[in-house]
Structure 1
Amino acid sequence: MILNFVGDVVVNDALNIELSLKLKKILKCGDYNVVNFEAPVKTANQKKVHKSGPSLSQDENAPHWLIKNGFNVISLANNHIFDYGDSGYLSTIHSFKGNNFIGAGTWDEAYSPLIIEQDGLKVAIFSMGEQQFGFFFDKKAKRQKFGCAWINYDSVNDIIINTKKNVDYIIIMVHAGLECVDVPLPEWRTRYRTLIDLGCDVVIGGHTHTVQGFEIYNNKHIMYSLGNFCFTENLENNSKWNIGEFVKLNINKEGIDVKTYGTEFLNNRIELFDDLRWNKLCLRLNNMLIEDNYDQYVREICLSHLNAYASLCSWGGYIHPSKIDAKMLFKLFLSKITPYKIKFDDVHMLNNLQCETHRWCFERGLKIKNNLI
């Protein structure tokens, strides 16, 4: 049984994007090809939900483009799939016309794995993510019929343990971590290792928009982030934005053979790296996970985020101490003497508190700054 996994996809010009012949050939050999569909298919009457961060949507041709290229398992546990509410989610499901979905839906659907039975094996695939808008945080939460599976919900560990009793292997995808950095936070490394200890056989991370390194823990693979497979938003960010990791799992009764490839999205085409270039990148990223190197990178990353967190926390994220200018001061003055009021939005604060990544990074950065760790 061959399972292929790629990273995040947001496509707004699907009809103009092609895959290289070599990449198509590898996908064609896969029994199941899994992709994270990072944003909903938006129809004319849908409205953005009130949330922190940008609201994304995808070309109505994106589902057909993925199906045409062999993708038949769609992961939806991410922080954008509910950017246009339940209607955006439902239009996305409809657009894929019955493909296999994991990680979102009703509570039971979101927290249930896809079970694949083939070649005398049973394999479970989960998809979950960090706590952001659109994710379930409580089974009894009001006004939330649909949502994504939260990786740190109380019952997740038991779900994995109980699932492993009935299957041969568990693959889990986790959408979490700091965006645009090369290493995971220590807290996520600990969580991913715990997932292995609970019974998962491969952990596949995403969300960071950059490829991160991998490690073998207790003889099982943890791929910290696959980066972007094809993400047409923010292409100008940096060269890392267009680089992704393609993971091929060849599964049999003896175990799981893992092979990785590098992919690059340039000029509306997705190509594979040559082996030398990919091996060089993997070596650099994996070296960053070595203890002494890793500790220093984490310190630098957390300290570099402190100013951004302080700005977001001040006045609900709308007034940044470092960005106060004459216009802003004039508005503040008017708000004291006229009915005019500045509207502050506390969803920014909420997101920084509820999202484990931001909370952990902020706390760790403050501790480092104050010589507590």
Structure 2
Amino acid sequence: MLGRMFYIKFDSDLNVFAKYNANDWLENEYVFELSNIFEDEINNISKKNKQFDSEVILDRAIDFGGGIRSHRFILSQYLNFINNYISRELALELLGEDQRRLNSIYRIVNFYSLLSNKYMKIFQPFEMMIGNKSIKPFSNLKEKGLIDFIVQLSILETRVFLVKYRVNGRTYFMVIGGDFEDGDYDVIIPYLISHDIDDLNIKKVHITNPNVNFIGDTYLGESYTKKRMQRKQNDALMQYGYSYSFSGISDFIRKDEFNIINFEATFNITDYTPFLKKKDYLLYANSENNIGELKERGLNCICLANNHSLDYGEKSLLKTIHDFENSNFIVMGGGQNQYEANKILELDFKGKKLAIFNAYWKNRYYVDYEFYALHDRAGVNILNGVLFHQIEKYKKENLESLVMVFCHWGLDFKPVQKYQTYLAQRMINVGVDLIVGHGSHSIQYIDSYKNKNVIYGIGNGVFNSDGEYDIHHVLPYGLLVKLDMEKQEVKLYPICTNNLKTFWKPRFVSHEELCEVKEFLKENKLEEEKDELGHFFKIKL
């Protein structure tokens, strides 16, 4: 279960117009220890007892990480510091005894709403200097013209924030609190500016076959082919065209079943990319040829929550979504705003429901690149706060539904990371029944938590890079996933994805290759069977 989040939204006249889990907070008074400190300091400044450049010296230096340490601050830096960086443990030490001055939500919002503009720089969520080091408090919330300030009111019991923001030129205030993990608030707050947490964007589809198929990282390889042409090296796309690479696994993708892929490219409308010399791999694709091939193969749903969907900027992402949707594909994991990127796909087979969530893990590299959809900014869905709360809400309202997350995470050709395990446990704790991951370009182990299955990495589907399996000493295999909604089971079909061995045409594994995959997965005690497609491992849900 998630920590009990609450929020209250006020208009410019301080009237409540939306709330969530907030009645107790509205009806009672609480100790907001950080707010009390702010008010005391601001009152001293207004009475000219202190200046903004008054120096605050702590007994010991505080370690921010990344080599940033300091114990001397000017007053505005110190207030910003305790507002944005201190932990609960450090708060107890620095703040001393808990201040017992009680405040109502209404009184606190009123105080900050009347605060003179000359004090606003204390709360600006932009860059600040500590010594000669630059840090960016609330860097994910710095949307221009969106947030005026964000100030933390409390940290000792429940982390509580007050946000002043604008929509269509009008001023609003939001008080939001909870046991936020992993910086959840920096994703939840932008979402709440235009929506409520229980606004679920559900795409409902009735299917006539119980099988739902999932294919991992998929890209037909135009950008790699361009480099090979420059090297005068042949490849499958040059020699055989777009219909070749899927032909080795075409029997898996039946047109009477529902088929989903993670598509790792963008239909670029320009050669310009904001990430030239920043990202090692920039993947573009031809719209007409890709859509024609994926349509012909029987694909139904395109997932875009990955680290390549914005390689050529926001307009190219929007073109990609438009072109796919215009060709009757369902698109998940990316959108013109945060609400659209958070789309949930609900499949219904004779009353049995499967809810699929698609997201890309929170990677600081891509936070800085602004890949994630926030408020009305186009981008991909982030495996973070809003998603967890909406999974929990959906599951509570649909107890019989199977809830699955199809997520992009992990490091290229690396084993499962601790952060993946942390996220998997969070997802299962809020109601997820099955996790199928991709992103590392190689298979990762399969695990369970609270009797729920976590397939950490299914590797590549059709991904026409050169392949680096030998260099990284990992197995050159992927897994095709067939989920049977009627039997409540999953079949995993191993495929060989070594492009240099298959000439960019993945195929089902040989017996010798199957033994390698079995050895890799030996501790999972998976049932092995065989059907007309080939060998597979079976997991009961």
Shift of 1:65: 1.4
SS of 1:19's equivalent? helix
CA distance in structure 2 between the aligned counterparts of 1:95 and 1:137, rounded to whole angstroms: 19
Cα-to-partner distance string for 1:50-87 (whole Å, 9 max, x where unaligned): 37413211233122212211211110000110111122
The match for 2:338 is 107
Q: Deviations along 1:124-148, whole A, 9 cap, x unmatched?
A: 1111012323532743xxxx62111
- Kept after mapping to 1: 8 A contact 2:373/2:380: no
Distance across 1 between alignment mates of 2:496 and 2:433 = 27
* 1:36-115 map, 5 Å: 36-43=262-269, 45-50=270-275, 52-53=278-279, 54-60=281-287, 61-96=289-324, 97-105=327-335, 106-115=337-346
- Mapped partners of 1:135, 1:87: distance in 2: 12
Aligned counterpart in structure 2 of residue 136 of structure 1, from 368, 372, 391 = 372
Counterpart for residue 517 of structure 2? 281
Give ranges in structure 2 of 5+ residues lacking alignment. Answer: 1-209, 223-236, 526-541
Distance 1:42 1:78 in 2: 16
Residue equivalent to 1:5:
214
The 4+ residue runs of structure 1 with deviation greater than 6 A are none
Q: Does 1:163 align with 2:389?
A: no
Taking the aligned partners of 1:259 and 1:199, their CA distance within structure 2 comes to: 22
Measured at CA, do residues 238 and 30 of structure 1 come closer, stay the same or move farther in structure 2, by a change above 3 Å? farther
* Equivalent position of 2:406 in the other structure: 173
- Answer 1 or 2: higher relative contact order, Cα 8 Å, separation at least 6: 1
How far apart are residue 282 of structure 1 and its match?
A: 3.9
Alignment counterpart, residue 253 of structure 2, candidates 6, 22, 27: 27
- Computed over aligned residues only, the root mean square deviation of the Cα atoms, in angstroms, reads 2.6
* SS of alignment partner, residue 242 of structure 2: helix
How high is the sequence identity, in percent, across the aligned residues? 25
Distance 2:345 2:460 in 1: 23
Aligned to 2:490: 258
Distance in 2 separating the partners of 1:241 and 1:258: 22
**Cα distance, 1:175 vs structure 2:** 0.7
The residue identity in structure 2 corresponding to 1:248 is K
* Residue of structure 1 in register with 2:121 after alignment: none
Q: Is the 8 A contact 1:245 1:260 kept in 2?
A: yes
For normalisation by structure 2, the TM-score amounts to 0.48
Q: Is the 8 A contact 1:229 1:243 kept in 2?
A: no
Shift of 1:150: 0.8
* Alpha carbons of structure 1 residues 119 and 274: separation in structure 2 relative to 1, 3 Å: farther
Instruction: Give the deviation of 1:16 after TM superposition.
Output: 4.9
Measure how far apart 1:185 and its partner are: 1.1
* Aligned partner (choices 177, 186, 194) of residue 418 of structure 2: 186
Larger gyration radius, structure 1 or structure 2: 2
Residue of 216, 241, 244 corresponding to 1:17: 244
How many residues align? The count is: 279
| Residues 302-313 of structure 1 aligned to structure 2 (within 5 Å) | none
Q: Indicate if the aligned counterparts of 2:373 and 2:379 stay in contact, CA closer than 8 A.
A: no
Please tell me whether the aligned partners of residues 303 and 332 of structure 2 are also in contact (alpha carbons under 8 angstroms).
Answer: yes
Q: Is the 8 A contact 2:359 2:382 kept in 1?
A: yes
User: Which has a greater percent of helix?
Assistant: 1
Matched, 1:243 2:477: yes
User: 3-state SS of the aligned residue for 2:488?
Assistant: strand
CA contact (8 A) 1:134 1:148 kept: no
Q: Could you tell me which amino acid in structure 2 is paired with residue 10 of structure 1?
A: Y
CA distance in 2, matches of 1:70, 1:185: 34
Kept after mapping to 2: 8 A contact 1:226/1:246: yes
Which SS does the other structure have where 1:34 is aligned? strand
Change (3 A) 1:164 1:233: same
Structure 1 residue 190, shift from structure 2 partner: 2.5
Distance change (3 Å), C-alpha of 1:215 and 1:80: same
Q: CA deviation at 1:247?
A: 0.9
Normalized per residue, the structure richer in strand is 2
Contact 2:483 2:490 in 1 (8 A): yes
